[in-house]
Each structure stands twice: as C-alpha cells, then as structure tokens.
C-alpha cells in the first residue's frame, strides 16, 4: 500500500484543507442568502464532487436534497475529449426544481457546458453551477459558474475528490502531480 500523501508524488500543494473549509463556509453563506425560502436540489457530478457534496452540504444551515450524475469525458488520460456520455442519470425529475450542480473542476468547460445544456432541457425552475476549482487559462467553452472556490493554473491536479487513474481522490488537499507519476503508469 502506498501512502496517499507520499511527498515525491506532488510538486506543490495548491489548496490546503483549511483553505477549502474556509472558502466553503463563505460560499455556503452566499448560497443561503441566494436561496432563501427555496428547496434546493444539489446535483453532484460523480466521482469528483463527492468530497465537495459532503463538506459543502454540511456547511448549509437548511435542509437540501442530493442527487448524483456520472458522466465520462476523460478516460485515463489527462486531457478532455469533449465526448460526454451519461454513465448514471439522476434519480429525480428536476422539472420546476431549484438545481445547483456541484462540479469538482472546470478545465476546458466542455463537460460542464454539455451537462448544463442537458439539465436545462429538463426545465428546472433554476439551474446554477458550483465548481470547487476552475482553470481560467484552459477554458475552451464559456459556462456561467455562479460559485467558484478557487481559480488555479492550468496544471493537472489531484486530491479532494480529483483523481489520476482513480488514485489520490482521498488526499485532503489539492496538489499538482509530479510528472514522474504519469510515467509510472503507462
């Protein structure tokens, strides 16, 4: 078994767990303010948004519903293919619901723009996006993201739900991966 935080695997810790907690608390206040007297359905995008769903939802003082969607856009590589497939659809009908999508990261924006279009067609009362991370320099398609945790450089990152070849999701901070790790796994 390999430690999740083996020092040599990472170049830099970009966002620490304390920074994440502080930022989520700030954004939770904003969400509470924006959704007063509304029932909110949080839609987490699997698997990357699992930590975000768990931590953000517990910072909210009102009761929310949760649903999950799984889409595939990457396979095992580190660049977006732009081809999106639904692996798991929502359980709930979102017509007339106030939907807030929780996404781990907006890189090219291709996945999110596809998802927003797909969910908008189901006629929710409102549809907004929360992304923990955004890489402004990597954007290829503009998507309105109402709540952004952190803007980061366009490097590949892991941790706090984000993976490389399914590993490192349980790292409690967000870190850039040492390129030496890519060459270990062809």
Q: Which is nearer to ligand IMP, 40 or 162 (CB)?
A: 162
One residue of 109, 116, 160, 171 binding ligand IMP per CB under 6 A? 109
Written as six digits, the tokens of 165 are 């070849």
CB of 74 to ligand IMP, least distance (A): 5
Q: Does 173 bind ligand IMP (CB under 6 A)?
A: no
The pair of three-digit structure tokens given for residue 101, joined into one six-digit string = 């999508």
73 lies in the binding site for ligand IMP (CB under 6 A): yes
| Closest distance of CB 2 from ligand IMP, Å | 18
Using the rule CB under 6 A, is 48 a contact of ligand IMP?
Answer: yes
- The closest of 52, 68, 1, 56 to 172, measured between CA atoms, is 52
Torsion of CA 21, 109, 183, 171, to 10 degrees: 10
- The residue (of 15 and 123) whose beta carbon lies closer to ligand IMP is 15
Any contact of residue 44 with ligand IMP (CB under 6 A)? no
Q: Give the residue among 56, 77, 50 at the shortest CA–CA distance from 160.
A: 50
151 is catalytic: no
Binding of ligand IMP at residue 55 (CB under 6 A)?
no
Cα 176–chain centre separation: 16
Q: Which residues contact 183 (CB under 8 A, 6 or more apart)?
A: none
Q: Does 57 bind ligand IMP (CB under 6 A)?
A: no
Stretch that binds ligand IMP, among 24-32, 91-99, 107-115, 117-125 (CB under 6 A): 107-115
Q: How far apart are the two ends of the chain, measured CA to CA in Å?
A: 19
Q: Does 159 bind ligand IMP (CB under 6 A)?
A: no
User: Of residues 9, 55, 104, 107, which has the active-site annotation?
Assistant: 107
CA dihedral 133, 135, 141, 144 (to 10 degrees): 40
In this structure, what token pair is assigned to residue 99?
């939907």
**Contacts with ligand IMP, residue ranges (CB under 6 A):** 48, 73-74, 80, 103-112, 156-158, 162
């Amino acid at each position: 078994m390999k430690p999740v935080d083996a020092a040599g695997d990472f170049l830099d810790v970009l966002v620490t767990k304390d920074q994440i907690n502080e930022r989520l608390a700030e954004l939770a206040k904003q969400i509470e303010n924006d959704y007063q007297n509304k029932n909110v359905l949080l839609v987490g995008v699997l698997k990357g948004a699992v930590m975000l769903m768990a931590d953000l939802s517990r910072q909210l003082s009102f009761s929310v519903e949760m649903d999950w969607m799984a889409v595939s856009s990457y396979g095992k590589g580190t660049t977006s293919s732009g081809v999106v497939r639904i692996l798991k659809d929502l359980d709930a009908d979102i017509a007339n619901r106030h939907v807030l999508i929780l996404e781990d990261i907006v890189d090219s924006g291709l996945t999110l723009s596809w998802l927003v279009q797909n969910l908008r067609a189901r006629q929710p009362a409102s549809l907004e996006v929360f992304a923990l991370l955004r890489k402004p320099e990597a954007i290829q398609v503009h998507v309105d993201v109402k709540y952004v945790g952190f803007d980061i450089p366009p490097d590949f990152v892991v941790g706090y739900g984000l993976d490389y070849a399914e590993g490192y999701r349980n790292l409690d901070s967000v870190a850039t991966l040492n390129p030496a790790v890519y060459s270990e796994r062809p």
